[in-house]
Copies of this chain bind each other. A is one copy, B any other.
Amino acid sequence: MASDHTRTALLAAAERLYADRGFGDVTLRDIVAEASVNLAAVNYHFGSKDELIAELFVTRSIATNRERLRELKAAEEQGGGRASIEVILHALVGPTLRGCLGPENQRSTAARFMIRASIESVPPIRRIKNREIDHLRKFAGAMRRALPDRSDVDIYWGLNFALAMAHHTIRESERLTKLSEGKCDLDDVEDVVARVVSVATMALTAGRTEAKAPSKVAAR
């Protein structure tokens, strides 16, 4: 139907506004003005404001998760059912980082929206994030297969730390840039991905109980 027009316009307008100004101070009236439609349209097409936000976030999440699984599947098939831990971690954090970082002026609306979503945490989005666990379990499974000697506990901590580094870097990218006076280049996305993967790999492969002695002094 061509009558999706209003729906689509609303989604686009909302995403744009949320990306620019955050969830906190964007009202329904702002959205319908940006989309040049009537105030009642949101409730007619989505039921409520929260459902509009949810649909927006779900769409983007599904895209990211699909990308993640695509990378994971490809890697596992190529490795005959077992991928290396680096590649798994790469599939886990790559899509998110690639989607949210990169030169600011060429960052897509979708990317900026997802950054907001990771910073602000509004109820409808939180509800959806809680359902992400099944998705993460797939990665935990792959990681277990890649590191069969590792305990479950270590796997989960590694997974947690990998996500931590990726998400925190996105959330606080501005602060890191300021803190490092521009020395940390967040526009070089592949370098960021490589750093996160590298550290997470170390976390997962190094002996950790006796981690008191890192010893392996590798000077540059």
Contact = CB atoms under 8 A, between A and B. Distances in A.
Interface in A82-118: 84, 86-87, 90
Contact of A121 (B119, B206, B213, B217): B119
Contacts of A167: 164, 168
Given A149-B219, A169-B164, A175-B133, A211 B195 contact: yes
A190 B214 contact: yes
Nearest to A193: B214
A198 interface: yes
Pick from A24, A165, A217 the residue with the most CB of B within 10 Å: A217
Nearest to A79: B220
Contact of A164 (B168, B193, B201): B168
A190 to B, nearest CB: 4
